[in-house]
């Protein structure tokens, strides 16, 4: 594929870059773009996350060290790192790419410059790639005026998102070509090496310790303060990283479950979660695990300084007794590590809820009975509580403990649970209609007999 006319200079993306050793950003961008060129399934997966479908006959070109038309006065630092062009028949979709590694982030002014360049040259999108995490590619870590986004799309990938997608593809066996598998494996080896400058989210924001201390002392948190917004922003990044961690461990894509309003409006999502933190002193998220019995809820409680992982299942409606319903649950969990695990029996209406440690519930289903009501549980909530105490306020320790707690809970509980399914109806021994017809026939015969007897008697 030929380079577009508006790109006056640019080298085809190389799998083995020849840039200076000090230019790690250009090196990483070249390797990733070359992987998109070389592995069909990888480019399909990555571009699909942007809503761009890549057919079997589509051709993708990628260039680095881009110099755009009429760019002589533009500083080298404001030139995009790459360009992607996808041709599908007569249709062309293209995007400018800007990459950062390590702790480097893209500034608002620099991003505005790229958006203006994209509009000028009728480029469809701008894609940024950094170590920052977002809930979905359409959510961007840098806020720009909406007027800048008229006629051009803005997307963001974290480096670990690319790593996770490549890992899932290799584990799924979807890449049939041995050569393409080898190519993607080598790309993963490079991106996974510490020298690449690519890292995962491993620390909360610098105000985290202060926020936790304020909650402990009973101080009021302002929902519009910078410290609260930075804390929630860090939590949002960790949510996404947690999904990627679980995806790699399970070999299946784990997604972040968001309300519809939050999927389309990241600003509203930030605002609502800041309000939740300020009022209730908690941070929450919900993970969707493929084929799991229920969603996995995660709550970080700053007041109690605990991390709670939970799943909620409907009780088996076919069982009438409370203990029978409890036994249905405990049969699934009797081989779990029960330490710090709890079960809550949820009852409809205002009926009392009861809660006990899992180890006690396994030993005796009756412990979840309530002295205040005879109403049987309609659902069960199984949860794991990690009490961190003073360690909760550690920026890195909090992330480390969270990323231990969630996989541990899923391994001991989540992967063992099965949702209750009503049994199929049983076939009657005889068709009720036939039984009714037989009964009518017997009645008619009886009437005939009575008539005969009456006639004889006459």
Nearest-angstrom CA–CA distance, 344 and 381: 5
pTM value is 0.80
pLDDT in tens, 66-109: 998 766 555 555 689 999 999 998 899 999 999 999 989 999 99
The answer to whether residues 63 and 86 belong to one domain is yes
Residue 436 has pLDDT above 80, yes or no: no
Degrees to nearest 5, angle at CA 396 with 395 and 401 = 110
Within a domain: 142: yes
At 146, list the tokens.
């909406």
The answer to whether residues 95 and 213 belong to one domain is no
Degrees to nearest 5, angle at CA 213 with 216 and 339 = 65
The answer to whether residues 96 and 243 belong to one domain is no
Residue 275 has pLDDT above 70, yes or no: yes
The answer to whether residues 354 and 383 belong to one domain is yes
Q: Which of 165, 196, 227 is the last residue of a domain?
A: 196
The answer to whether residues 41 and 169 belong to one domain is yes
pLDDT band, very low/low/confident/very high, at 458 (cuts 50, 70, 90): low
Within a domain: 85: yes
Q: pLDDT at position 362, please?
A: 96
The answer to whether residues 360 and 222 belong to one domain is yes
pLDDT in tens, 111-143: 999 999 999 999 999 999 999 998 889 999 998
Within a domain: 201: no
At 1, list the tokens.
């594929």
Residue 23 has pLDDT above 90, yes or no: no
The number of folded domains in the chain is: 3
Q: Which of 196, 225, 260 is the last residue of a domain?
A: 196
Residue 160 has pLDDT above 60, yes or no: yes
Closest CA to 161 of 145, 183, 137, 181: 137
Task: Name the residue range of residue 234's domain.
Answer: 208-414
pLDDT in tens, 204-236: 999 999 999 999 999 999 999 999 999 999 999
When comparing pLDDT for 173 and 153, which is higher? 153
Q: Which of 196, 220, 250 is the last residue of a domain?
A: 196
Nearest-angstrom CA–CA distance, 357 and 79: 59
**Mean pLDDT of all residues in the chain?**
91
Within a domain: 64: yes
Within a domain: 422: no
Q: pLDDT at position 171, please?
A: 87
Q: pLDDT at position 405, please?
A: 97
**CA distance to 228, 396, 399, per residue, from 202 (Å):** 19, 6, 6
The answer to whether residues 388 and 327 belong to one domain is yes
Within a domain: 19: yes
The answer to whether residues 243 and 298 belong to one domain is yes
Nearest-angstrom CA–CA distance, 105 and 221: 28
| Cα diameter, the chain | 126
Nearest-angstrom CA–CA distance, 96 and 83: 5
pLDDT in tens, 338-353: 999 999 999 999 899 9
The answer to whether residues 155 and 60 belong to one domain is yes
Nearest-angstrom CA–CA distance, 274 and 1: 48
Q: pLDDT at position 269, please?
A: 94
Give, for 272, the enclosing helix (H) or strand (E). Answer: helix 266-280
The answer to whether residues 36 and 161 belong to one domain is yes
Within a domain: 90: yes
pLDDT band, very low/low/confident/very high, at 442 (cuts 50, 70, 90): low
What does the pLDDT average to over 234-243? 94
The answer to whether residues 19 and 61 belong to one domain is yes
Q: What percent of the chain has pLDDT over 90?
A: 73
Residue 432 has pLDDT above 60, yes or no: yes
Nearest-angstrom CA–CA distance, 190 and 361: 49
Residue 411 has pLDDT above 60, yes or no: yes
Q: pLDDT at position 323, please?
A: 95
Residue 392 has pLDDT above 60, yes or no: yes
Within a domain: 419: no
pLDDT in tens, 257-270: 999 999 889 889 99
The answer to whether residues 87 and 128 belong to one domain is yes
Residue 378 has pLDDT above 90, yes or no: yes
Q: pLDDT at position 234, please?
A: 93
């Amino acid at each position: 594929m030929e380079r577009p006319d508006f790109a006056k200079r640019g080298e085809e993306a190389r799998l083995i870059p020849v840039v200076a050793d000090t230019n790690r950003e250009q090196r990483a961008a070249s390797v990733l773009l070359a992987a998109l060129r070389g592995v069909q399934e990888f480019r399909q997966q990555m571009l699909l996350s942007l809503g761009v479908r890549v057919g079997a006959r589509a051709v993708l070109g990628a260039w680095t060290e881009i110099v755009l038309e009429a760019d002589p006065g533009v500083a080298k630092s404001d030139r995009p790192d790459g360009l992607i062009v996808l041709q599908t028949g007569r249709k062309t979709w293209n995007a400018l790419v800007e990459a950062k590694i390590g702790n480097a982030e893209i500034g608002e002014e620099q991003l505005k410059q790229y958006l203006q360049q994209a509009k000028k040259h009728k480029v469809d999108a701008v894609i940024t790639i950094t170590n920052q995490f977002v809930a979905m590619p359409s959510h961007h870590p840098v806020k720009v005026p909406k007027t800048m986004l008229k006629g051009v799309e803005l997307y963001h990938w974290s480096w670990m998102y690319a790593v996770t997608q490549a890992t899932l593809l290799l584990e799924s066996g979807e890449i049939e070509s041995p050569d393409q598998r080898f190519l993607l494996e080598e790309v993963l080896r490079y991106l996974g090496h510490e020298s690449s400058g690519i890292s995962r989210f491993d620390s909360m924001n610098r105000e985290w310790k202060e926020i936790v201390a304020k909650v402990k002392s009973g101080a009021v948190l302002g929902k519009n303060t910078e410290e609260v917004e930075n804390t929630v922003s860090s939590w949002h990044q960790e949510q996404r990283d947690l999904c990627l961690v679980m995806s790699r461990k399970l070999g299946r894509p784990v997604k972040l479950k968001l309300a519809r309003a939050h999927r389309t409006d990241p600003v509203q999502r930030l605002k609502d979660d800041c309000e939740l933190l300020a009022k209730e002193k908690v941070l929450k998220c919900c993970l969707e695990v493929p084929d799991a019995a229920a969603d996995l809820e995660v709550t970080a409680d700053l007041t109690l300084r605990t991390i709670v992982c939970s799943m909620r299942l409907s009780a088996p409606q076919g069982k009438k007794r409370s203990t029978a319903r409890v036994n249905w649950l405990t049969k699934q969990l009797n081989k779990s590590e029960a330490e710090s695990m709890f079960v809550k029996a949820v009852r409809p209406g205002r009926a009392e809820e009861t809660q006990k440690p899992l180890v006690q519930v396994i030993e005796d289903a009756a412990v979840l009975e309530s002295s205040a009501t005879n109403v049987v549980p309609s659902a069960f909530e199984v949860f794991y509580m990690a009490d961190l105490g003073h360690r909760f306020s550690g920026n890195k320790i909090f992330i480390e403990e969270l990323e231990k707690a969630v996989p541990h809970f899923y391994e001991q509980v989540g992967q063992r649970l099965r949702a209750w399914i009503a049994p199929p109806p049983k076939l009657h021994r005889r068709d009720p209609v036939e039984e009714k017809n037989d009964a009518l026939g017997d009645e008619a015969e009886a009437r005939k007999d009575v008539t005969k007897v009456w006639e004889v008697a006459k």
